[in-house]
C-alpha cells in the first residue's frame, strides 16, 4: 500500500512537471538548455542525478561491492573528488563561457566549431546516438529488476512503463522539466540513502561499522583490505572510468552549458560534490556489505543462474522495512528517470540539432523542436527494445557505452577548452584512437571493459597533443575568438550570440598553413 501511494505521487509529479514546462520549451535553446538560465541548486542536482542511475544501485554497487569488498569505497573517493569536485572547478566556467561565445548547445556542435570540422560534428553525433542506446538500456534493465523483486511486476511491464513515463514528461517539458524533477528526485535519493545505511548497519548481520569490518575479514581477509581480491589494476580502472570518464560524457557536460552564470558555479560545485559523496558512499558501502547477507548471489528466475545484478534488489526487499523499501524504490526510480531523461535529450539532439541541419538547413526553430521531441521518443523506443532483449549484464552494458563515448570525446573536449595548440587533425586522431581502442578491445576482452575504457581515455589524451604538434594549426584569429581574446570585426552578425552565421563561419574558415 505504501509503495503504491509513493509511486503514484512520484509519477503524478513527473507528469505535472512536463505539462507545466511545456509552454516554456518553444525553442531549441529552451528545450535543450532551459534558455541557459538554470540556477546552481537545480544544476548541481541535475548533474548528480544524471551521474548516478539505477545502474550504480543495482549493477555497480552489487557487483563491485561483492568482488572488491570494502576497497570499493575507493570509487567513492574518485567519484566525489574527480567526477564531481574537480569537474566543476576545472570545466564548468570555461565550458559555459566558450560554448556561449561559439553559440553551441551540444558536444558535437562544440567540437565542430572549435576545430572547424563539419565532419567531426557529424561523427560525434553518430557516436552519441549509437552508443547511448545501450547505456539507456542498462538503466531500464536495472530499474526493471528492482520492480520485479519489490512489486512482483514482470520485467517487461516495468520496462515499458518506465519508457512511457520518461517519454511523456521529457518530450513535453524538455530541460526545464528535467531540472525541476531532478531537484526533487535528488532530495528523495539523499533521504533514501540515509535510511538504507541506517537500517543496513542496524541489521544483526552487520551490527555496526567495526563489527562489519571484522565480519568481512572473517569471510575473506582481502575483503577488508585496501585493495580487494580482483587486484589494483581493475580497481584503478573502475575509478578512472567512473570518475574521469564523466569529463567527456555529453549528458554531464550539458549541465555546464545550461547553468545561469559564473556566480552560480561555486555553490553548484559544493552541492554536487556533497551529493556525490553521500550517494556513492551509501551505494558502494551497502554493496560491499551484501557479503554479510548472502553466501552467494541470488538466482535469476529466468536463467536459473546466480547473478550479482539481483544482490541489491534482494537486500532491499528482504532486509529493509516496507516503508524504507518503498523510499529506496522511489530513490532508484528517481536516479533512473533523471539519467534516462539526460541520455534521451542528448541523443535526440545529436540528430535533430547536429545532423538534420546539414540536410535541411532551412528548418524553422519550431519545426526543429517538434522533430527533437519525436527523436527523443524514437531513442526511448530503441533503448527499450535492447533492454527487453537482455543481451548482457548491466555492468557490461553501461561500461561499454561509458568507455566508448568518454574515450572518443574526453581528449578533444578537454584540449579544446584549454590548449590553443590542439589542431583539427589532432582532435580527429584522439577521438578515433579512443573509439577504436574501446570497441576493438572490449570485443576481444569483454570481461575487462573498465580497464579497456580507462586505457582508451588515457591513450587519447596522449594522442591529441602528439599529433597536434606535427600538424597544421588552426587560424590565430579563430583561436583568439574562441578564447575570448578578441571579437570578430567587420560583421554585426558575428557579434550576435543567436546568429547561426557564427558557427557556420567557424566551420568553413580554412585552417592556417
Which residues on adjacent β-strands are paired with residue 348? none
When pLDDT is averaged across residues 311-317 and rounded to a whole number, the result is: 81
Is residue 511 predicted with pLDDT exceeding 60? no
- Going by pLDDT thresholds of 50, 70 and 90, the confidence category of residue 301 is low
Q: How far apart are CA 102 and CA 111, in angstroms?
A: 10
Which residues on adjacent β-strands are paired with residue 299? 306
Is residue 503 predicted with pLDDT exceeding 60? no
Number of H helices, E strands in the chain: 23, 0
Query: For the chain, what are the domain ranges?
Result: 2-16+39-508
When pLDDT is averaged across residues 169-197 and rounded to a whole number, the result is: 74
Predicted pLDDT at 143:
67
When pLDDT is averaged across residues 327-333 and rounded to a whole number, the result is: 74
- Which segment of 54-68, 227-241, 408-422 scores lowest on mean pLDDT? 54-68
Q: How far apart are CA 92 and CA 224, in angstroms?
A: 37
Q: What is the pLDDT of residues 206-216, one digit of tens each?
A: 988 899 999 99
Q: What is the pLDDT of residues 385-412, one digit of tens each?
A: 776 766 555 556 667 788 899 999 999 9
Instruction: Name the more confident of 413 and 332.
Output: 413
- Residue 163: which of 182, 187, 136, 196 has the closest Cα? 136
In the CATH hierarchy, which fold is given to the domain comprising 2-16+39-508?
A: Sodium/glucose cotransporter (1.20.1730)
DSSP summary character for residue 31 = H
Q: How far apart are CA 366 and CA 346, in angstroms?
A: 18
The CA–CA distances, whole Å, from 415 to 42, 54, 91, 163, 427 equal: 28, 32, 11, 36, 8
Is residue 31 predicted with pLDDT exceeding 80? no
Q: In degrees rounded to 5, what are phi and psi of residue 299?
A: -90, 130
Predicted pLDDT at 377:
77
Q: How far apart are CA 107 and CA 120, in angstroms?
A: 10
Is residue 308 predicted with pLDDT exceeding 90? no
When pLDDT is averaged across residues 337-357 and rounded to a whole number, the result is: 71
Q: What is the pLDDT of residues 243-283, one digit of tens each?
A: 999 999 988 888 888 788 888 899 999 999 999 999 999 98
Q: Write down the pTM of the prediction.
A: 0.81
Residue with cell 526493471: 144
Mean pLDDT of the chain: 79
When pLDDT is averaged across residues 216-225 and rounded to a whole number, the result is: 89
The CA–CA distances, whole Å, from 91 to 50, 69, 84, 148, 412 equal: 17, 32, 10, 39, 13
- Going by pLDDT thresholds of 50, 70 and 90, the confidence category of residue 485 is confident
Is residue 164 predicted with pLDDT exceeding 80? no
Alpha helices for 54-154 (secondary structure H): 54-55, 61-68, 73-80, 92-102, 107-114, 118-150
- Going by pLDDT thresholds of 50, 70 and 90, the confidence category of residue 76 is very high
- Residue 108: which of 257, 230, 224 has the closest Cα? 257
For the chain, percent of residues with pLDDT exceeding 70: 75
- Going by pLDDT thresholds of 50, 70 and 90, the confidence category of residue 492 is very low
Instruction: Name the more confident of 1 and 374.
Output: 374
Q: How far apart are CA 44 and CA 319, in angstroms?
A: 32
Q: What is the pLDDT of residues 420-445, one digit of tens each?
A: 999 999 999 999 999 999 999 988 88
Is residue 86 predicted with pLDDT exceeding 70? yes
Predicted pLDDT at 362:
67
DSSP string, 47-74: HHHHHS-HHIIIIIHHHHHHHHGGGGHH
Amino acid at each position: 500500500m505504501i509503495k503504491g501511494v509513493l509511486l503514484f505521487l512520484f509519477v503524478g509529479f513527473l507528469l505535472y512537471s512536463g505539462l507545466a514546462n511545456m509552454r516554456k520549451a518553444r525553442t531549441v535553446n529552451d528545450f535543450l538548455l532551459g534558455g541557459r538560465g538554470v540556477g546552481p541548486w537545480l544544476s548541481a542536482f541535475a548533474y548528480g542525478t544524471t551521474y548516478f542511475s539505477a545502474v550504480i544501485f543495482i549493477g555497480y554497487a552489487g557487483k563491485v561491492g561483492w568482488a572488491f569488498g570494502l576497497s570499493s569505497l575507493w570509487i567513492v573517493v574518485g567519484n566525489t573528488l574527480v567526477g564531481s569536485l574537480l569537474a566543476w572547478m576545472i570545466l564548468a566556467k570555461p565550458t559555459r563561457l566558450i560554448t556561449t561565445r561559439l553559440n553551441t548547445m551540444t558536444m558535437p556542435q562544440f567540437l565542430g566549431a572549435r576545430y572547424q570540422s563539419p565532419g567531426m560534428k557529424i561523427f560525434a553525433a553518430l557516436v552519441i546516438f549509437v552508443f547511448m542506446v545501450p547505456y539507456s538500456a542498462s538503466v531500464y534493465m536495472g530499474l526493471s529488476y528492482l520492480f520485479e523483486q519489490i512489486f512482483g511486476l514482470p520485467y517487461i511491464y516495468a520496462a515499458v512503463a518506465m519508457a512511457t513515463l520518461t517519454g511523456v514528461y521529457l518530450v513535453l517539458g524538455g530541460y526545464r522539466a528535467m531540472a525541476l524533477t531532478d531537484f526533487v528526485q535528488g532530495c528523495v535519493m539523499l533521504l533514501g540513502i540515509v535510511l538504507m545505511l541506517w537500517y543496513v548497519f542496524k541489521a544483526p548481520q552487520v551490527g555496526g561499522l567495526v563489527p562489519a569490518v571484522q565480519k568481512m575479514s572473517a569471510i575473506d581477509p582481502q575483503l577488508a583490505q585496501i585493495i580487494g581480491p580482483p587486484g589494483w589494476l581493475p580497481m584503478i580502472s573502475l575509478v578512472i572510468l567512473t570518475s574521469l570518464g564523466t569529463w567527456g560524457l555529453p549528458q554531464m557536460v550539458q549541465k555546464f552549458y545550461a547553468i545561469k552564470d559564473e556566480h552560480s558555479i561555486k555553490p553548484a560545485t559544493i552541492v554536487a560534490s556533497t551529493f556525490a559523496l553521500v550517494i556513492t558512499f551509501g551505494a558502494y558501502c551497502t554493496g560491499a556489505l551484501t557479503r554479510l547477507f548472502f553466501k552467494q548471489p541470488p538466482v535469476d528466475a529466468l536463467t536459473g543462474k546466480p547473478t550479482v545484478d539481483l544482490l541489491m534488489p534482494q537486500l532491499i526487499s528482504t532486509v529493509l522495512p516496507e516503508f524504507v523499501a518503498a523510499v529506496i524504490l522511489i530513490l532508484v526510480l528517481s536516479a533512473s528517470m533523471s539519467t534516462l531523461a539526460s541520455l534521451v535529450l542528448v541523443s535526440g539532439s545529436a540528430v535533430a540539432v547536429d545532423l538534420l541541419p546539414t540536410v535541411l538547413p532551412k528548418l524553422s526553430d519550431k519545426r526543429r523542436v517538434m522533430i527533437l521531441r519525436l527523436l527523443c521518443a524514437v531513442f526511448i523506443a530503441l533503448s527499450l527494445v535492447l533492454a527487453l532483449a537482455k543481451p548482457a549484464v548491466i555492468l557490461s552494458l553501461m561500461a561499454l557505452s561509458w568507455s566508448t563515448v568518454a574515450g572518443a570525446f574526453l581528449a578533444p573536449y578537454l584540449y579544446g577548452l584549454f590548449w590553443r595548440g590542439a589542431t583539427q587533425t589532432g582532435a580527429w586522431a584522439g577521438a578515433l584512437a579512443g573509439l577504436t581502442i574501446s570497441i576493438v578491445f572490449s570485443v576481444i576482452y569483454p570481461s575487462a571493459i573498465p580497464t579497456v575504457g580507462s586505457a582508451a581515455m588515457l591513450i587519447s589524451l596522449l594522442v591529441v597533443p602528439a599529433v597536434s604538434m606535427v600538424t597544421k594549426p588552426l587560424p590565430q584569429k579563430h583561436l583568439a575568438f574562441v578564447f575570448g581574446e578578441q571579437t570578430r570585426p567587420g560583421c554585426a552578425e558575428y557579434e550576435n550570440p543567436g546568429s547561426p552565421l557564427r558557427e557556420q563561419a567557424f566551420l568553413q574558415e580554412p585552417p592556417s598553413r
